[in-house]
Amino acid sequence: MVKYKIAAVVAEFNYDITQMMLELATAEAKNRDCEITKVVAVPGVFDMPLVIKKLLQKDEYDAIITLGAVIEGATDHDQIVAQHASRKIADLALEYDTPVALGITGPGMTRLDAHRRVKNAKSAVEAAIKMCDRLKEI
């Protein structure tokens, strides 16, 4: 029996990295007797909040994880994307009383840094599950 059903919202931008993140997240969920039952690909991290809101409105998932890699460019664009997306993601978790774990790496990192941080996807799953457990206790 599956302990929790989790949806994953995954950025297509930097897909080589985010696909590895999804694989690790899926394995971590299984190791913890949970399942990623829905995967939705979005163009980039900035596009995640709308899909997260639609998933939360369905009320079919115990938690949602976000997977993305915001890599530094020639401008401060990475800072803006990460800041605004993460803020809205946190707001949605509060609005819908459902854990939405931040598995987005960056900003301010190189592509090599992003590859090194792929394992953060496992931490997102762990955080989502811990929050589900904690909310049951309240």
Task: Could you list the residues known to form a binding site for 5-amino-6-(D-ribitylamino)uracil, using ranges.
Answer: 13, 45-47, 69-71, 102
77 included as an active-site residue: yes
Measured over the CA atoms of residue 85, residue 50, residue 89 and residue 111, the dihedral's sign is negative
Which residues sit in the known binding site?
13, 45-47, 69-71, 74-75, 102, 111
DSSP characters for 19-46?
A: HHHHHHHHHHHHHTT-EEEEEEEESSGG
What does the longest C-alpha to C-alpha distance in the chain come to?
A: 48
Instruction: Considering the candidates 30, 54, 77, 84, report the single residue annotated as catalytic.
Output: 77
Cis status, amide bond into 43, omega within 30 of 0: no
Closest to 6 in 3D by CA, of 47, 45, 34: 34
The residues that are catalytic are 77
